Structure 1
Amino acid sequence: MKSIFEEATYTQILARIDALNENSDRQWGKMTVAQMVWHCQFPFLIAIKNKNKGNGNLFVRLFFKKQMYSDTPFRKNLPTAPNLKTKEEKNLSVEKPKLRELVTDFYNCKTRKDWNPHPLFGKLTHDQWGKMQYKHLDHHLTQFGV
């Protein structure tokens, strides 16, 4: 499975983000392209800030954690946590540079050794963080055809 910590994957992800525009057609779901770009910023903020000290959610860890970094694609139309979605319209020209910067900041964590637990998935290895971030972002970029 690809990881954002791999230079070629990182470069490819940035090119896919750059390919998004106001006319990017949603293949499934309800978010607009700008809302999706806004939504995709949060997993990176969690990882980069590295502030969580919890153990995650036991149910989530037992039943969903391995799906986050496996080669199996996410199903379309999975529910989004309420605090990670917005009904407000977002501006793509504002949100896209923010996402690019967060992807770069995360990529620059490629030598980080110490990761705090994820708020839902608990302890993750460095490799799992890189794969999980790729998988989530790939899912949403594919959602908008890039």
Structure 2
Amino acid sequence: MKNLGEPETLHAVRERLWTVEPGDLPRWGTMSVGQMIRHLGLAYDMSLGNFVAAPVKGPPPWLLKFAALKVNMNWPPNVRTTPELKRAIQQAVPQDSLDADIMETAARMEELASGLRYAPSHPMFGAMKPADWLRWGYLHADHHLRQFGR
């Protein structure tokens, strides 16, 4: 299964990030391209332990983690996110910052792929191992890039 620890997968996701355009419209959801890129960047910050999101109430974390990371299928549209990430992307995103935001997001993605550090847990999936974070990092980016037809 694809993950960011595979150099060819990391390269392909980076290339897809650079194909988004400011005027792209989402196939689902309400985020703009700029908000989506910022959302990915903050989520990678969370995976690295730089941004903390409280655990989310819902189905058992082990079940969500299994369904999201081990079942080989595309994530469905409109998957909920943490309140902290929702609040962070509600801020206005200047369109002229898209290139800089993509560079920052790609750098965080590469840092995750480097394997040097990871957060101990995910707010919905609970305890995470390095392999879990690498799989999540690919699937999360893939989900949002498909959201914008990329």
**Structure 2 length-normalised TM:** 0.81
Aligned to 1:137: 141
Q: Verify: 1:125 aligned to 2:126, yes or no.
A: no
Counterpart in the other structure of 1:44: 44
Contact 1:4 1:133 in 2 (8 A): yes
Q: How many residues align?
A: 143
Q: Write out per-residue CA displacement over residues 19-42 of structure 1, whole angstroms, 9 at most, x where no aligned residue.
A: 112122311110000001111112
Unaligned runs of 5+ in 2: none
Letter in structure 2 aligned against 1:126: P
Percent identity, aligned pairs only, is 24
Change (3 A) 1:143 1:48: same
* 1:55 CA displacement: 8.6
Q: 1:88 pairs with 77, 91, 108, which one?
A: 91
Please say if residues 48 and 117 of structure 2, whose CA atoms lie closer than 8 Å, have aligned partners that are also in contact: no
Q: How much is the aligned-residue C-alpha RMSD, in angstroms?
A: 2.6
**Cα deviation digits, residues 18-73 of structure 1 (max 9, x gap):** 11121223111100000011111122112223787x99868441441212213121
The TM-score, its normalising length taken from structure 1, stands at: 0.83
Which has the larger displacement, 16-25 or 28-37?
16-25
Q: Which runs of 5+ in 1 are unaligned?
A: none
Q: Hey, what does 2:105 align to over in structure 1?
A: 99
SS where residue 137 of structure 2 aligns?
helix
